[in-house]
A = this chain, B = another copy of it.
Amino acid sequence: MDDDHARRLLRTALDEARAGLAEGGIPIGAALYGADGTLLGRGHNRRVQDGDPSAHAETDAFRAAGRQRSYRGTTMVTTLSPCWYCSGLVRQFGISRVVIGEARTFHGGHDWLAEHGVDVLVLDDPECVLLMREFVHRRPELWNEDIGDD
């Protein structure tokens, strides 16, 4: 996947992150695209909005896509490097590709995914960095809760 195409897909995840922020939530968004490029599902972190600690952006997008027989050829696009929970999701279900907005404010499991054959692209998008940097500065306790950091 070329960078321009990946950046277009990232817009969907960024829109989700901003929607989450507008709801008072943690601004991380994601989208799952099919092998043919169709959008299968999109979502954002819902810890605050739904009181649901299991709803990370990637799991919310995965959930929205519903049951799928195979994830071969699919692409998970996320505004932030996926944590171990979301990296485990990608590995278990054989999602082929992960497009990541940024990995500066949080470095999750994407190196591990690359080692295990997942095609990983980190875009280092300044809007994604800014969104998280401002959020973590403003709500450090909420961010730590979301990644299980005591």
Contacts of A54 in B (CB 8 A): 54, 59, 62-63, 89
Q: Which one of A3-11, A13-21, A68-76, A121-129 is at the interface?
A: A68-76
Quick one: copies of this chain in the complex?
2
Contacts of A66 in B (CB 8 A): 51-53
In the assembled complex, the Cα of A74 lies from the Cα of B36 at a distance in Å of: 42
Question: Contact: B148 with A71, CB < 8 Å?
Answer: yes
Q: Which residues of A contact B (CB under 8 A)?
A: 47, 51-55, 59, 62-63, 65-72, 83-89, 91-94, 109, 145, 147-150
9 extra interface residue pairs, beta carbon distance < 8 Å, beyond A72-B150, A86-B88, A94-B148: A54-B54, A54-B59, A54-B62, A55-B63, A69-B145, A70-B150, A85-B85, A87-B88, A92-B148
